[in-house]
Structure 1
């Protein structure tokens, strides 16, 4: 009989963060998933048991208390050997509930630190919550090297409890699926000769959109063929300046596309990818852009800086500095050979370090404490296996 492994995420839409991983782990464990109900639950493999437990993303005292009681009952019934929780609300509820029942191995997948861009009492509250979740956990599994460093700097937990699976990322990249998606027929809105600078993600202040738009304004007098492509939705609480919104709406050189269910072929429209974020856990869109052979310009901040090799697969720039972004873009626009070299090097790095199977094996090692090679050697040394 397989031991029970439980994953917990807050919203059903977060199931995409575990694409393929649940089925992989089902080879070794009886896998269960706890999340709020939603359409995405239909995509869960048939051999994974799904448990709907509605959780609010924001603080809601009475709803949170009710969800906590339900979580206590569910974990008591499932009796997992290992529980892995990620995303803030799910981690708080599942961390406390699994600590209460003394689940043998409690893993907190730290996907990012929202508190990095907060100040005052809200920052202190978020820091306290992170420390509470970490205290309930046997291990804090950070999804990037710099996120681990930041967690250690903030003293979220004792250093020996911090870990990272492989080179980072929470789930790696499904390259077979991405390659197939890139074959989709899409018509570029840009004329031949356009130099397209691209961004994919939520259009918010924390993603550095104010800085990117300002950098583009500084760039265009010297590069009249430059175009800016923004792919993503404008959050209700975006925090962007009125000047930025006006520029996006009125500048004919800026193209805004809403969220795209298949983003893969759109990377082919771009010459350069810019990811000017203020904080990340890792930065999956930068990984996708690099795999698409684009040079990546990103900021020297937690999580984002791990997505490139500086000066080899792209450029690191200081956060909140539009002029630095402009300079980096200009260098690449002036040098097509350098763009190709960086793009090729970026793709090779993603293939080497971030294939899904590579990441899953590294996570499995965190669960078992035994490397795959060691498991193979154990089987070969067992007389029953060789007779």
Structure 2
């Protein structure tokens, strides 16, 4: 039986971004093992996916001595377990995982790119990130951007490696479970209870955002656009602040805390009730690879307002299943929100197309089968 080692920097990426896929590969003839930093999600991953997990001392920040230690741990792990395939995700795991796999002579080295921090970086940080991407691609046999626009960017910025680039299927690292993410999966009573708990009337329109509450998710523009709306509505924010790494402006944080129609519920393990209780999904992020949350919102039959960035502008077609606005443009975002708030007929028309667009391209089992075929063809 051939063995696959899947590596991410932190276990939450294995737990959320690759949920179900690891078990699927195990059921289709592969011995799957995983590696990441340690964390509370590891037990759940091992039980649900039926995998053996190995803890590596990864850090998410640049830390040369700790990174060297993690690299050595990966080399030792690969030499001991002898995987036929090493498949990495996230920048730090990609760099160290591909270097370790090349050093150990692994037959097939694969790296998936889902978002690229250097797109927003500047100065020395950007130069360092470019170098790490180059090293990762040099050590990999194949590199898989998970959207067309991301591949276009990579071909332009890293033309020396473009023969290694390939998109699997229609994009997306994992697709989505379209049975799980459906309006029918949420009881009407749960929706009513949620709106009642937050004092939202049955007739009020609700905008919803799901993601980390940080600057590069477009939180500043979203809150400012919402505050500029003349029509009354609610803004539901589902996600946690990350003040230690990417704090939002104090003024924005104060508005979130004090505004009577902005509701912040923090991180939620199950986002479906919050999507089902809302009317319009808004995601003005500055950069993404292929955002699962946009897939999930569209599968839940929500019209989506997204920024014109990689991934989002491939999932959403303007005026078909949502609206696309320029990045970092508060005024255009406000106009789009206002349009769907006032024009209920248009909102319904966009919503009616949302789920169909996801079923056709991004159903989870279609994505898993495409990745499985890639393993079978190359290993």
TM-score w.r.t. structure 2 length? Answer: 0.92
Task: Show the counterpart of 2:99.
Answer: 96
Q: CA deviation at 1:278?
A: 0.3
TM-superposed CA distance for 1:157, in Å, is: 4.7
In 2, Cα distance between equivalents of 1:286 and 1:213: 19
Distance in 1 separating the partners of 2:260 and 2:159: 46
Summarize the alignment of residues 207-218 of structure 1 with structure 2, pairs less than 5 Å apart: 207-218=217-228
Matched pairs, number: 366
CA deviation map 1:268-289 (0-9, x unaligned) = 2211111000000111111111
Structure exhibiting the larger radius of gyration computed from Cα positions: 1
SS of the aligned residue for 1:93 comes to helix
Q: Residue 13 of structure 2 aligns with which residue?
A: 14
Q: How does 1:1-387 map to 2 (within 5 A)?
A: 2-16=1-15, 17-26=17-26, 27-43=28-44, 44=46, 45=48, 47-155=50-158, 157-179=160-182, 182-183=186-187, 185=190, 186-188=193-195, 189=198, 190-219=200-229, 221=230, 223=231, 225-236=232-243, 237-369=245-377
Q: Which whole-Å deviations, capped at 9, do the CAs of 1:343-385 have from their partners, x for residues lacking one?
A: 1211111112111110011111222238xxxxxxxxxxxxxxx
- How much has 1:181 moved relative to structure 2? 5.6
State whether residues 230 and 254 of structure 1, in contact with CA within 8 Å, keep that contact through their aligned partners in structure 2: yes
Q: 1:290 offset after TM fit, Å?
A: 0.6
Q: What is the SS of the residue equivalent to 2:236?
A: strand
> Structure 1 206/166 Cα, relative in aligned 2: closer, same or farther at 3 Å?
same
Q: CA deviation at 1:322?
A: 0.9
Distance 1:232 1:47, change over 3 A: closer
Gaps of 5+ in 2: none
| Inter-CA distance 317–250: structure 2 relative to 1 (3 Å threshold) | same
Query: Per-residue CA shift, 1:95-138, capped at 9, x if unaligned?
Result: 10111122111101111101111110001101110111011101
CA drift at 1:171: 0.6
CA distance in 1, matches of 2:201, 2:6: 46
Q: Structure 1 46/342 Cα, relative in aligned 2: closer, same or farther at 3 Å?
A: closer
RMSD: 1.7
Q: Displacement of 1:303 after TM fit?
A: 2.4
**Secondary structure in 2 aligned to 1:191?**
coil
Contact 1:293 1:343 (8 Å CA) reproduced: yes
Secondary structure, aligned partner of 2:62: coil
**In 1, Cα distance between the equivalents of 2:61 and 2:323?**
35
For 1:326 and 1:38, locate their aligned partners in 2 and report how far apart those are by CA, in whole Å: 39
Once residues 67 and 246 of structure 2 are traced to their aligned partners in structure 1, the CA distance between those partners, rounded to angstroms, is 26
**Tell me, which stretches of 5 or more residues in structure 1 are unaligned?**
371-387
CA distance in 2, matches of 1:361, 1:314: 28
Q: Residues 195 and 333 of structure 1 are in contact (CA less than 8 Å); yes or no, is this contact kept in structure 2? A: yes
Shift of residue 218, structure 1, vs aligned partner: 1.8
Q: CA deviation at 1:178?
A: 3.4
Q: Is the 8 A contact 2:256 2:264 kept in 1?
A: yes
